[in-house]
Amino acid sequence: MPTKINDETIEKIAILAKLKLTDREKEQAKKDMEKILNYMDLLAEVDTDDVLPSTHAISFSTPMREDEENDICVTFDDSCVAEADRNEFFHKNDGYNNLLNNAPQVHDNMFVVPATLAERKDGQ
Amino acid sequence: MELSSLSATELAKKVQSGEVKVKQALEEVFSKIEEREEALNCYITLEKEAAFRQAEALQEKIDTGNFQGTLAGVPVAVKDNICTKEMRTTCTSKMLSSFVPSYDATVVEALKAAGAIVIGKTNMDEFAMGSTTETSAFGVTKNPWNEAHVPGGSSGGSAAAVAAGECFFALGSDTGGSVRQPAGFCGVVGLKPTYGLVSRYGLVSYASSLDQIGPITKNVEDCASVLEVLSVYDEKDSTMSARAVKTDYRSALQDDITGMKIGIPEAFFTEDLQPEVKSAILDVEKVLRGKGAVVEKIDLRYIRYAIPAYYVIATAQASSNLARFDGVKYGFRAEEYAGLHDMYSKTRAEGFGEEVKRRLMLGAFTLSEDYYEAYYKKALQVKQLLKQELDAVFETYDAILSPVADGIAPKIGESLPDPLKMYLGDVYTVCANLAGIPAISVPCGKDKNGLPIGVQFMADSFREKTLLRLAYSYEQSKNGQV
């Protein structure tokens, strides 16, 4: 089997998996992945022409329900757009507050993320 | 009366009749926890006060005749990847070390409705990725039979807690054997139900086409009792089968397997199988024959490809499922970063452990444009072939008999240095996940050092009753000798 995992592949995989790896981790990953993938290459032995890929082992059709409001989803309606209303909405809906409590950074009942529209310098 | 000797089913009956108070049941498990937990590390979170508060409320309802439940007052432990309202759910990852769900998983709601008291959350491999519970960010769990050994994994904390009497039963999750293998290593019973029989709403996803929640119990009767509570249709899980309807699984507990046809795959008896395990499995075969079952060798040619197919599918789906951990919505975020992408990749690099990162990278690779056909699509095709092969077996046979693992529980520290070798150890259990069929692990002996050995039975989809009857019948013949 030819080597699949070189430095370039590891860089690409790290971008796809969104993982910032140290040099030591990259070296280790190269070795481990090569070994594991070589084993996975056993699959190539199997003749799979005309075999449909299995998604779920048990066949079922997607269950449908009426498109109506229920206690599973809470409607965030137009009246909540104003900040004061929004705060009142969150106050009334404990579930939302509990969700936000898990976030590392929150402002005005919203998740805080780094700027997403800044000019990219990293080429990603 | 020694409470610890009772099964969950027996305890619930005594609580319901008033012979035992809910508080006494809790005191029993917390005294075991006091005694052993420091050494074993089965639990990530214990909620003693909340448990006693619930016990008091439940007792009042029972005393006034306002409660009926098959698990009344039974203390249960829940694997830490199953959401529990207001109880921390970490997946034993730094990424979720402070995550507190705002809702109960459907299975947890069902347990509570049946009267069970959730006392805490159990240790596991990080995001259920591992076979030893050693990839936990919260330290390893030790095997209650010998603390130098692992309890197996990934549901190692759940299996060890049941074996040590630190709860009366537990929930685990099984993607490639994570309920059955630790149950086997700890000498308790573990069931992976048919795909679609038990709701996964509130289970933190690992590999969605393989994941199932299952009970870990002291005996087969408890397994049937808990399955009755768990297998109820839930519209919040769109992969549930319409065949998940209220079923009296305990009616299957009959000591009669006369004429049952059981296949033993020759492909499982390789040189990797340790002699003591092999002879224990062959002893099971003798017992089953003695009870009137017909046991025959069967040929399964795709078993050889089960491990590579499993690890391609599992890691690919994991890399997609774990994309949600981005440092925005739950728990952990790296302290220093330059911009959005740097925040993502630093958060994930610092938040995930080594084995999780390895699997995410493998998944990202096998799903990438150049390799998708050769790995992911190929693995799904092989999965289909394996499924067809097993379907054909179940046209003739009621069940398949096999080991749960190739040996007894490994020593702590022995498994992680060679990930591929650890993956290969899952060969006996992954077939049931790939084919979506039910499988149960039952204790069948001990090795010369007293560590438990488990036997596995598999049956066709939705044939849990066949599986339970076979397991129960086998268990009866041993008369608690294990």
pLDDT digits (tens, 9 = 90+) for B217-274: 999 999 999 999 999 999 899 999 988 889 999 999 999 999 999 999 999 999 999 9
- For the stretch A58-96, pLDDT in tens is 776 777 878 877 665 555 555 556 666 666 666 666 656
CA closest to A111 among chain B residues: B328
Q: Predicted confidence band at B480 (pLDDT cuts at 50, 70, 90)?
A: very low
Q: Is the pLDDT of residue B482 over 70?
A: no
Token pair listed for B412 = 């702590």
User: Is pLDDT of B481 > 60?
Assistant: no
B22-36, B148-162, B348-362, B467-481: least confidently modelled range: B467-481
Averaged over B167-173, what is the pLDDT?
A: 98
Record the tokens describing residue B232, joined without a space: 């109820």
- Mean per-residue pLDDT, B175-193: 98
Name B65's Cβ contacts closer than 8 Å, sequence gap at least 6. none
Per-residue pLDDT reduced to its tens digit, B86-128 = 999 999 999 999 999 989 999 999 999 999 999 999 999 999 9
Burial class (CB in 10 A: 0-12, 13-18, 19+), B19: exposed
pLDDT of residue A1 exceeding 50, the answer is no
- What pLDDT digit, counting tens, does each position of B289-343 carry? 999 999 999 999 999 999 999 999 999 999 999 999 999 998 899 999 999 999 9
Q: Tell whether B177 lies on the interface with A, counting CB pairs under 8 A.
A: no
User: In the structure, what pLDDT confidence band is assigned to residue B364 with cuts at 50, 70 and 90?
Assistant: very high
Please state the rounded mean pLDDT for residues A33-40: 94
- In the block, tokens 């698990």 appear at B71
Per-residue pLDDT, A119: 60
Indicate the average pLDDT of chain B. Answer: 96
Report yes or no: B257 at the A interface, CB cutoff 8 Å. no
pLDDT > 60? residue A2:
no
Give the pLDDT band of residue A116 (cuts 50, 70, 90). Answer: confident
Which residue from B298, B241, B237 is spatially nearest to B268, judged by alpha carbons?
Answer: B298
ipTM of the complex: 0.90
Range of weakest confidence among A44-58, B176-190, B354-368:
A44-58
Q: Tell me the nearest-neighbour CA distance from B318 into chain A, angstroms.
A: 11
Residue type, B38: E
| Dihedral angle sign, alpha carbons of residues B162, B233, B313, A18 | negative
Are A114 and B312 an interchain contact pair (Cβ–Cβ within 8 Å)? Answer: no
Q: B209 and A57 in contact by Cβ < 8 A?
A: yes
Average pLDDT over every residue of B268-288: 95
How far apart are the C-alpha atoms of B472 and B287, rounded to whole Å?
Answer: 13
Mean pLDDT of B437-463: 97
CB distance B189 to B139 below 8 Å: no
Type of residue found at B476 = Q
**Residues of B marked as catalytic:** 79, 154, 178
The answer to whether the CB atoms of B337 and A114 lie below 8 A apart is yes
Spatial CA neighbour of B113 closest among B65, B51, B49, B68: B68
- Does residue B82 sit in helix, strand or coil? strand
pLDDT of residue A72: 53
Strand-strand pairing, B189-192 and B261-265: unpaired
Strand spans (E) along B188-249: 189-192, 212-217
Nearest in space to B170 (alpha carbons), one of B214, B125, B104 = B214
State whether residue A2 sits within 8 Å of chain B by CB.
no
> Is some CB atom of chain A closer than 8 A to the CB atom of B336?
no
Question: Which chain A residue's Cα is nearest to B241?
Answer: A60
* Candidates B239, B340, B378; nearest CB to A56: B239
Q: In chain A, which residues have their Cβ closer than 8 Å to the Cβ of B374? A: 44
pLDDT grade for B11, boundaries at 50, 70 and 90: very high
In the block, residue with structure tokens 């040996």: B407
Q: What gap in Å lies between CA B277 and CA B263, rounded to an integer?
A: 18
For testing contact with chain B, the best of A1, A8, A16, A18 (most B CBs within 10 A): A18
Distance from the A73 Cα atom to the nearest Cα atom in chain B, whole angstroms:
11
- pLDDT score of A108: 81
Q: Which residue has the higher pLDDT, A121 or A19?
A: A19
CB-closest option in A19, A20, A55 to B360: A19
Which two structure tokens, joined as six digits, stand for A13? 């995989």
Average pLDDT over residues B184-188: 98
Inform me whether the C-beta atom of residue A23 falls under 8 Å from chain B C-beta atoms: no
- The secondary structure of residue A106, as a DSSP letter, is E
